Structures are given as structure tokens and as C-alpha cells.
Amino acid sequence: MGAAVPEPVARLLQEPNIAHLATLMPDGSPQVTPVWVDFDGVYVLVNTAEGRQKERNVRRDARVAVEVMRQDNPYYWAAIRGRVVDLVHEGADEHIDRLARKYLGRDRYPARDPNERRIVLKIEPERVTFSGRE
């Protein structure tokens, strides 16, 4: 079982704060992408489209890091190292719409491409670091 996520970190993930997801390229170099993020009480959730670099990277090497900071205070942040334990298609379209409500206040994800297939990366936290300076 993964590391516990303290309540202040859970709030950071549940609020509309942009996160950065680091994955590993085939040569071992890091690849970082700003992402919308969610938390279901156990897993950090990142929604992406199948075939994007981050999805290809985690299929090959499940190790990731997620960094999230409060949008009004970059010194209030959390870093989570963990592994992608599942890639889920079921419910991924509904999930991106929920994220659009959270981040944009819109009922549907406006950049939806009918040719892409959405997928949710389920990240199990293994180590959580938190700096809650106000």
C-alpha cells in the first residue's frame, strides 16, 4: 500500500491548482507536463489522451512525480512520488468533464477531440512531501 496523503495535500489536489507531472523518457531523462489533477482519497488522478508522451512513458516505466502548488501561493506546495498502478478508459470522458468544471467552470471539456481516446492515470503515492508556508 502507498503512502498516506495528509489532508492539506488532499485539499491541494482537490482544489483547482495546476500540477506538474514528471515521467521518464526511454533514455531515462525526465519529461514534465503541466496537468489538471484530481484525488479520489487514495490515488492521484491525471486525465490524458491515449498516445501522448506521458501515457507512452508510464506504460514503459510507471514511476512518476507530481508537484502541485496553491495557485495564490507557490510556497504552499506538495510533491508526490509514486507509480501509475492503472490506466483506465472507463469513465475517462466523464472525468475530463469533471476536471473542466473544476478548472474552467464549464460543463464539458472544450478541447475534446472526437478522434482521441481519454485515459485516466491512477497514481499510487509512495512518498509525499509537503510545505505549507502561508
In angstroms, the CA 3 to CA 95 distance is 24
H-type alpha helices, 40-134: 53-60, 92-104
- Structure confidence by residue, pLDDT tens digits, 70-113: 999 999 999 999 999 999 999 999 999 999 999 999 999 988 88
Q: What is the pTM of this model?
A: 0.94
φ, ψ of residue 27 in degrees (nearest 5): -85, 5
